[in-house]
Structure 1
Amino acid sequence: MDSTLNPLHSTRPDTARPKSPWGRHDPYVSMEELGKSFVGFASLPHQIHRKNVKKGFEFTLMVVGESGLGKSTLINSLFLTGLYSDRILPNTSEMIERTVGISKKTVDIEEKGVRLKLTIVDTPGFGDALDGTESYYPVLDYLHEQFEQYRMDEMGKHRTQIKDNRVHCCLYFISPYGRGLKPLDVAFMKDLQTHVNIVPVIAKADCLTKAELLRKKETIRREMEFHKIKIFEFSDCDSDNDVEWTRQDFEMKNSVPFAVVGSNMQLRMDGRKVRVRAYPWGVVEVENPDHSDLVHLRTMLVRTHMQDLKEKTQDNLYEQFRISRMNMRSPSMSF
């Protein structure tokens, strides 16, 4: 047999492997790549991207805090929606008498062809009663029920149809009044930390001067460390060579707890629409990093760490819950 025809005994120098016939049909392959050996597995991230975009994304966010701290307004500002445009605030007597409840609202948001199903879980009545010792139990019960329902669905027959109602993040609103955390804040967050990712925010930050705000942030950090309260930890920056990403990551980490200002009012300034809070002495631009941490909070929740929040809910918080349920003798769980 002619050795030139037998690849096992070829005396010719090694040549590049023939290009994949599918390469020219792949829109993600550049002309430079077509000139090289190409199998095609480098397009796997694009396959996942296309599949996820087609299916859409889901995210559940809980907001907890006293009435009057601007929770609803902040949600509207964060996601540029009118989710709470019809909200009616209770009067003082109603706030004192009512118990803590759970309210859910879902909105479908689309941006550049990407769909997000956003579920907001509100906790009206939290912290309104004169004695708030047990006011947060309904919230913990709700979080536990979502974990338990997910666990039961995993054990069922139709696992491909599991609906994930678990809460991926909790924005915990801290009052701007007072020195630091209240006893209710400490007690609640210590129980809350095993059920959901906590992201603390200082509400209505425009009530404080910059110096007061810096002192309050530092006080809250010290108190959370003293009481061993675990909040959501930012993952390390993956791209050390990206200067802009590194700077943004540094600013977000140093903004915690996020000092936020929300507003439904828009004014046209310098040819663009700006969300502001108007006062006799001027305006506060809620999306201006010099006035509020709203942009940093939005960046963290949506652009950089939404997937991290979901993965930590699944891999850490839910997994710990699942293991604890397996180790329990009693089928029920109490706090």
Structure 2
Amino acid sequence: MADKDKKYSILDASRLSVAPMMDWTDRHCRLLHRLLSRRALLYTEMVTAPALVRGHAVHLLEHSPGEHPVALQLGGSDPTELAEAARLGAEAGYDEINLNVGCPSDRVQSGTFGAVLMKEPGLVAECCAAMIAAQPVEVTVKCRIGVDDQDPETVLPEFIARVAATGVGRFAIHARKAWLEGLSPKENRDIPPLDHDLVLRMKGLFPALHISVNGGIESLDEAEGFLAAGLDGVMVGRAAYHRPADILCAADRRIFGAMEPDSTPEDAVRAMLPYIEDHLAQGGRLNQITRHMLGLFAGRPGARQWRRMLSDGAARPGAGPELVAAALAGIAGTLHARAS
């Protein structure tokens, strides 16, 4: 794919993306999500620049060709280190390099990166400039609307302007503040109030930038509403993980205008079986994959049995794809019984 074509495809894909989520959006999760949506943009978990550059943990960049379009999210605050990490990500074949300026976890704060960088827009700009200069892949930023006692109305536009001046043209904005003292990372995902309207105003202030909204989005209806209101993209987090079929199965048709039939969770499970077999043959464990599949049938008849079979059985010695096939058969049996 030519660079120009890749650029346009990533812009199109970012109309709907699945947020980077620590301990969740690993390569197994991303492959499952790709089977549900051919077009949505997927993100890695945050990978720290020190782990790649100092720790030589290049295995953290592993992904399969079937995941594309896929973006690498980096964490860090040293421009030289982030530039090298971005170069490694580009060499690994990622379609986008994203800088994390939103994660509020304690370990992120201690490393002086993540949401705490909202207090240092000059440093973020320096980091982004170094990342852009080091490699050819587009660099983007995911941020909060502010942290602690900052006034988002003032801080956010100043932050965006400072960073955009380096050449960053795409921002994903989590529409909540992060409280770095007093709230846990989990509480920071729920307690600070959402301000989606502020993100919409940022699009009005910066019409040339590509602005995506993140935070508290639970349905495709909401996603379509934000796009209709003028935002360029919508990033969905926990809803896409816990109810992936609800968010992703109709996304290609509703968000991207695809003419192909919607995907189904049943077809995704069948397509995962050879991948599971290959993973086990390489010494992997079944529950490393099936933990991401528990919510596939959320809200449907048989969902509880599906979750129970996978949760109880996937960690047992010798568990393999036949367990997943049996759980899928249980879903079909439940539907047949209800129809009788």
Query: Could you tell me the TM-score, scaled by structure 2's length?
Result: 0.32
Q: Which has the higher helix share?
A: 2
Provide the TM-score with structure 1 as the length reference. 0.32
Compare CA radii of gyration and give the structure with the larger one.
1
